[in-house]
Amino acid sequence: MKDFPGFALVMSLLLFGGSAAVIYGAKWAHQEKDDLYKVSGVVESIHVESGYRSGSRKKMVLQITNHGVLHHLTQDDFTRSIPALETLRQGDEINTLVASDVLFRKIERVWEIRRGDEILLSYEQTLELRKAHTQQRVISIAALVAALVLLRISIKRWIKY
């Protein structure tokens, strides 16, 4: 087992990097309401994308136009939890609160949707529904701790080697 220290070092670094990325990514998933901006327009299309392109969860994808500019809006598919979202139709005029995508893709994350005076999805509902995905962050923190322990052990063994 002469190669064990090097193998353990590489594996702990990979585990550390992966879990740190998920934890950092979870920070991106939360936005303060004051940091959001408004996008208004007419719904051009609305559909739900399966998980193979957008991670493990289905995504609701809206395309709206405002003065000739097309906006690609996305969020986790909350239509089961919030039936009002199923009433959105092509041609509806909506107002949204959104955040820019942190990976610099041409999409915006939806946090609130209003149609006239009707709130279809509130910021508070979005926060509450996204809390359901916090288990991923807890697992990532546990993996990060395990990676740090493995890293420390492998460095000690590497030094003794």
pTM of the model: 0.66
Q: Which amino acid is at 160?
A: K
pLDDT, tens digit, 9 for 90 and up, residues 2-29: 555 567 677 777 777 777 666 666 555 6
The number of distinct structural domains making up the chain is 2
DSSP per residue, 11-23: HHHHHHHHHHHHH
Tokens found for residue 7? 């193998």
Q: What is the CATH number of the domain that holds 110?
A: 2.40.50.140
Query: Does position 90 have pLDDT exceeding 90, yes or no?
Result: yes
State mean pLDDT over 94-100: 92
pLDDT, tens digit, 9 for 90 and up, residues 70-81: 999 988 888 888
Same domain, 75 and 126: yes
Same domain, 55 and 11: no
Same domain, 44 and 118: yes
Query: Does position 54 have pLDDT exceeding 50, yes or no?
Result: no
Same domain, 11 and 83: no
Same domain, 39 and 68: yes
Tokens found for residue 79? 């239509």
Domain span at residue 66 reads 33-132
